[in-house]
Amino acid sequence: MNRGIILLLFVSVLLCIGCSDTQHYKFTLRGNLEGIMDGEVALLKPFKNEVLCSTRIEGGKFELKGCLEAPGQFGLKVGERSFLVFMDGHDMRLDGAYESLSANDLKGSPANDLEREYRDLINKEYYGRQWPLLEEYKQADDAGDVKLADKVMTQVIRLEDTRYELTREFARQHPDNIFSAYASEQIGREVYRYAKGLYEVLGAKVRESQWGIALKKHVDDLVTSIEGTEVPDFTVTDEEGNKVSMSSLRGSVVVLDFWASWCGPCRKEMKSLRELYKELEGQGVRFVSISLDDSEERWKKACEEEQIPWLSALAEGGWEKSTIRKALGIESIPHIIVVDKEGKIAAKNARRNILRERLEEILNKK
């Protein structure tokens, strides 16, 4: 064994065994693998190549011991295979055939086990209902049947409530598992009602996890842009280079359509908006499409292709740096916000027939 290999093994032992005062989660991960006799097992920071802990595979077997700040999700690299796992067990095993090795083979982690259970539930009760609708929507869209496409896409959008309810009940049944916090944070990023409802069912300990803290931040951030709050005043630039402020639109019901040239679903959404625009012409509703493009050139090219008949403007900062996107809690597009005549948010992420129904309510309100 040469000097370099000896040094590498020595460093690996230090990485695995050395614990600091801030590291409170100790674990052991043992494995017996088929199809690989030697190599390395390494625990990585998720989505990064930074090694937290590593050990050698000898004769298909390995033992990895380590200390971490807290249980969580990590990358696990076994030889040349890599996948994400949840680790919160103290004595875990990874056994199986190397060629098909995956997170499903990790045993002894309650969070990893729960992730499999949740995935099966969501695949059956959410995606199992969503996939046929998306196929029906595609057929209607390809045929140019805007009304049917709107009807089906509305059903797809309303399924988000189903996913939220499934996740909330799942988290309520497992309030002290870190996976509940992880799943809740994923669902609660954009809708205040979702974020608040999910946070309420989490146990005190998992609220202190990275996902519990992130979910609480969503609750705090989104409460400033819920229905009934005044929309922040902001300024965008129209296609002629003129500045347009939100306050200048006060007195009309305003439909704010947030989109980008690179967003295919956004451009599909405009087909529906065109029909609604025609229906509501002359009824005091103003449409404004606000692009979150980073490139003015690409935005203008998309505007020319779409021939948008209403006000089209570009937000400063693009997707990453747009202050209005962040202020309104927009994490995905298309995202449509309705602002009433008093400048207050009347609906968020209201699309297709949900948007149509909300506008009818506002316009018919005495």
pLDDT digits (tens, 9 = 90+) for 67-96: 999 999 999 999 999 999 999 999 999 999
What is the tens place of the pLDDT at every residue in 140-174?
999 999 999 999 999 999 999 999 999 999 999 99
Domains of the chain and CATH, by start? 3-106 (2.60.40), 112-225 (no CATH), 235-364 (3.40.30.10)
Q: What is the mean pLDDT of the chain?
A: 93
What is the tens place of the pLDDT at every residue in 115-137?
999 999 999 999 999 999 999 99
pLDDT at residue 2 is higher than 50: no
Return the pLDDT at 127.
98
Pairing of strands 25-34, 91-97: parallel
Name which of 277, 269, 234 is nearest 253 in CA terms: 277
pLDDT at residue 43 is higher than 70: yes
Number of CB atoms found within 10 A of residue 27's CB: 20
Q: What's the average model confidence in pLDDT over 30-56? A: 95
What is the tens place of the pLDDT at every residue in 171-193?
999 999 999 999 999 999 999 99
Return the pLDDT at 150.
97
First-to-final CA distance of the chain? 85
Sheet containing 38-44, strands listed edge to edge, beginning at the edge strand earlier in sequence: 81-87, 72-78, 38-44, 51-58, 61-68, 25-34, 91-97, 106-107
Q: What percent of the chain has pLDDT over 70?
A: 93
pLDDT at residue 8 is higher than 60: no
What is the tens place of the pLDDT at every residue in 321-342?
999 999 999 999 999 999 999 9
Q: What's the average model confidence in pLDDT over 266-280? A: 95
What is the tens place of the pLDDT at every residue in 45-75?
988 889 999 999 999 999 999 999 999 999 9
Q: Is the bond into 334 cis (omega within 30 degrees of 0)?
A: yes
> Are the CB atoms for 277 and 287 separated by under 8 Å?
yes
User: Cα angle at 269 between 264 and 271, to 5 degrees?
Assistant: 110
Q: What is the CA radius of gyration of the chain?
A: 25
Return the pLDDT at 21.
60
Q: Which two tokens stand for residue 258?
A: 């947030």
What is the tens place of the pLDDT at every residue in 232-258?
999 999 999 999 999 999 999 999 999
Name which of 47, 59, 184, 70 is nearest 118 in CA terms: 184
